[in-house]
Each structure stands twice: as structure tokens, then as C-alpha cells.
Structure 1
Amino acid sequence: MTSLFQSHQLGELTLPNRVVMAPMTRVRAAAGGLATPSMATYYAQRATAGLIVTEGVQPSLIGQSNPGTPGLHTEEQQASWQPVTDAVHVNGGRIFAQVMHGGRVSHPDTTGTRPVGPSAVPAVGDVFTPTGPQPAPVPRALETSEVPEHARSYADAARRAVDAGFDGVELHGANGYLISQFLSSNANLRTDRYGGSVAHRIRFAVEAVSETVEAVGAARTGIRLSPGGTFWGVRESEVTELYTALLGELARLELAYVHLEATADEEVLVALRRAWPGTLVMNPVVPMGPKQTGRSEADHWLGLGAELISFGRAFIANPDLVERLRTGVPVAPVDEATYYQGGDAGYLTYPAHQYSA
């Protein structure tokens, strides 16, 4: 059976192991969406991962979901990421930027403008704002002529990412954000070529990925998906048909990988594994659910055909997670109160395991 600690060829990158650090929002960017020296240290500490995928990075101001998150749509933001990618590479790592357009999961108090989405249907729940949680506003439905501009924003951010030293990008097509909203059958009520049928609902995702592949190359492009997920109130009809059709279109583009979350029954996910001919990154547990991915879940999905396994929360408190998994050292618990509080506490303060003499 494939081992978690075997190497894997991902495009032009040779990953020394099959452990992926999953993208996790940490809201520690500086004003103006700039990456910081602390972010460089944080990612460099975790460079033993086969691949790091950063927190979600907004491709435009209107695409920003949460306050305190970094961007890749200005020259200053691009320059601020160079020390981060340099630090990871000096420490022997590989790093992709996750490009995340929040769509309707945003607020005017955060961006200064009304959020947009496929339809004028608000997300379910409160969104984060600079003054605290507030009810999700009704987004402005994008005109048909505007949609390609938002698809291109992923590609524009990808160009900046590569210019800033990233090894590639992952489009955030999961968890109720913009691509996921277009895939949805209740957030997307459109009657034009971007809504209604399965073929129309996948169009925005395919266009965003195609633009990105044209901008930086297929070997530098991945996408994260949450089949059947219900984040922020999205619902998807015809889940297996929807994602089988999407993966069929993406297969033509020969992406570096598809990153699936365990948001559907295993039978559905295994069917999608069969439908995808390329590298599959599997996140074996539901993000922010009661369980964290461990060695047993990783081995299970390697046995089901996944090539790479992503670990989220375990990486927060365990910068040396790969070594802990390799040696069986217990995984340290994470302090949830420090997820989003800012500062270096609960960010840079988790130590590697200390072996006794």
C-alpha cells in the first residue's frame, strides 16, 4: 500500500511526502491585505509538509470575505508575499496560494462595497466584519456580462502569486464561496448560461480554472471542492452528476490536482475518485467538524486511491506534524481561542516535540 511518507511527483514538483497542509484562515494579515514577517515564520515552520496550501487569499477587494485576510490584487500585496515564499523555500518546502473569492459571504463594512453573487440570495448565518459578526447581506446578482471578469480575477491573482514565488495556486471552489455558490442549486437561481442545468452551473468553475491554467499553466493549478457541502447555506442538487461533469471538464485541462473534502458519503467520494484521472488530494474529515484528520484516516484514503492527504487543524499546534505522524508521537492539541485572535500567540508559539535523552 502507498505510504504517507513516500514521495510524489506533482507537476514539476517532487513532494518528499504525501502530507499536505490544508488552507486555514488565520486573519493575521496587516492593513491593506499585506502578508507579514510572522506569516513567513508560520509557514516556514511547517515546510516539512509535502505541500503547503495557504489561507484563502482574495483576488480582488470585492472578493474579500473576512477582515484581516491577505490579498493578491495589488503590487504591495504581491511584494509582501515574496518573503513568505522565500522562507518556505529556504526551509526546503513547497507552497501554493489558495485563491478565494468570497462572493456573497462578505459585508460592506469589510470591503466598502456590496457583495456580489450569482443571485440576490443571502448566505445563511452571520459574517465576520471589523466590528464583529453581522447578518449576511443580500448580495447583488452579477450581470451576465460581469461574470467573466470575476472568473479572470482568479487568473490575475495566480499571475501575481507565481511572480511572488509561489509554486502554484489552488482555487477555492468549496465551502460556500463564489465558485461553490455558482455550483449550488439554491444560491444560484440564474436562468442564463451560468445557471439552471448541471452544464450551466459548472460553467463558472470551468472558466475560472481555464483562465488560471492559461495564466500560469496546468501544473501550477489545483482546485478545492466540497461535494454536497452545506456551508453558508448552500445546497446542491444532483451532487454526483454535478461533480462528475465538473471533473470531466477539468480533466481536459490536466490540472496539478483536485482537492476534495469529505462532505459527501464515501460512496460518492469514491465515485469521484474514479471520475478524476489525476492527482487527488483528500481531506478525510469535514472541515471544522468534531474530528481531526489522523494517521488512520490518512491511511484509509490512501488505500482508496488518494495520492495526497491534507491535514488542517493538526498543523496549527504541530509545526512538526510530519515527523509526529512518522514516529507516532502524540499530536498536540490546539487552542481554539487563538484561531482568529491575531498576534503571534497561538500562531508562532507552538513548539516542535522535545525528545528526552
Structure 2
Amino acid sequence: MSNGSTFPPHRRLRGALAVTLAVLVAACAAGWLLWRSSGGTGGAPPPGAQPAPTTSSSGSADASGGKAGHGGAGDTHAKPDGDGGAGGAGEDGGKASGPGDGSGTPRPGGSLKGKVVVIDPGHNPRNRDHGREIARQVDIGNAHKECDTTGTSTNDGYAEAAFTLDLARRTRTLLQDRGAEVVFTQDGDRPYGPCVDERAATGNKAHADAAVSLHADGSGAGNRGFHVILPARVSAGAADTTAMVAPSRELGERLAGRFVAVTGSAPSNYVGGGTGLDVRSDLGGLNLSKVPKVFLECGNMRDAKDAAQLTDAQWRQKAARGITEGITDFLTH
């Protein structure tokens, strides 16, 4: 072939078709990976996750053999360096507004009309003023635990109780936009508590289709990421989780998948072996629940990088959207 020759027309057409096909294959692969990361595997854990470990009745250990930050008394954290303070409900009152915050418009097929969702904002901003009342022991079926605790805080004093209440209100707005009936265990309208047994009872009385308890952890610096706490199988006293273990796991898996996709946060590097899932039998809010329920630890308040997210209103709006989408996935599939 001479240097001045050109390809025949049919060969040029064949080359163009090959390029087009390659682009389509790449686009399909990218779309499949996005679908996987956003929980499209039918409730699979976050990308790269291994099956979540099961635990004995003593609770679950973290990757280093220690207990998770929620392993203290009550359905709460072992308090590091203080009680976390009282705090308010967030600098903007938890309103779902502002650019890029997720308007709450339902995705196709994402209507929650007729569904009841219980949101449990962990702790109470006023618990610190009622130490004697929240120290009262309550029966959680397989043990007795404190009624409630103050929760933790960031090193700068932003209280977990303020964080959970702000996040709960944002989540409520988005869930209501999708047609759900949303019930709170508390809305900053109580002097303290409620106790962990009453928190579980709220979901039971509402015959909730799903219940999520919102928290942030109080572990050591360098421990980062979120994790979802799933109920263990417990049958003791008033506790019988037999019927709700399986649906609660599905709820937790879908919640974890959506939380990753929307917030960009990674699963915990110190609880759950990289899965973002942890199984516990020592939390009254789970033991006494008769409806599908999980705890979400949104990050570690004692780590500076996690704290920077938890204290950011725009990130909390993303977190609320991730929670809403996870609940929606669970209730509509």
C-alpha cells in the first residue's frame, strides 16, 4: 500500500462501529458499578465488604479485639473525656433547605405513602441535667442497663444529642416528602430520655414498617467511618428478636449501601471488619423492638476528620438523604 492510499469505505465504517461499541461497553460497565455502590445488589453490603460477623450475647468486638464505642452502659457510648454537653438542635434547626441538599422529591417508584417510619434521635440535649433519672436501670430482656446517657461530643463540644436531633429533623422532612408517616421518640420536647425501653416501645406501638436510631460514636482518634448496628437473635425475658433479625439486617444493608453512595463516607475502620455492619445483643432499643430496627453510627465524633463532617450542615443534609434512600429501598423492594 502506498503512503498516499486510504481505507476503502466499508473498512472505515467497520472501524467507526468498533469505536462506538467500545464506548457503549464502557458506559454500561460504569453504570453497573454505580448501581452496585448505591445498593442495587438487593441489599448487599458496601462495595468490597465481606459478610458481617455474628456475635455472642456479650456483643461484638472490633478489629483490634476491643469493644465498639457503643459498648458502655445503656444503649449509648462509653463517654470519653466528658459528657458531651447539652447542645441545641443544629445551627439551622434541621430545615431541609439550601443548594444541593436533596429536595426530597421521590425517585420513580420511591413513594412511601402508607408507610410508618420511626426515627429515634439518640440521647437528649437535656440528659446532662438529669443524671439520677437517666441512671435508673431498665430491663432489656437479657440484662439491665441505664435508662439513657448523655452521649458523646466532638472535642470542640458539639454534642451527639444536638447532632442526632438535627439529623433526625432533616430526615423527617425528606421522608414526609415521599409520603411516609414519621414518628419521633423525642423531638427536644422532653426533660430527659426517653429510656431505651420506651424508645423501643414507640416503634412497637406505631407498628412501624422501619425504625432507625441515629447516633455518632465516641471512639479514639484515628478510628473513622460509619457503621450500622444490627440486632442479634435474643430470646430472654421481654426480649424476642426472632422475627425481626432478618428484616433488620436487610434494612441495615440497604441503609449502609445508600449511606456510602450519597455521603461518600467509608465503612468503619474499627468496627465490623470493613463491612460497615455490626451485630449487638446488648442494646435495649434493639432487643425490645418487635419491628425492623437498626442503629446508625454516622461517624466518630472524637476523630477530627469525622468531626469536620458531622459538624457540617451540608454533610448532615447528605446523610439525611442517604438515610431516606436506604429506608426507601427497604420499604419499596
Task: Name the TM-score, length of structure 1 as normaliser.
Answer: 0.29
Name which structure has the greater RCO, CA cutoff 8 Å, separation 6+.
2
Task: Name the TM-score, length of structure 2 as normaliser.
Answer: 0.31
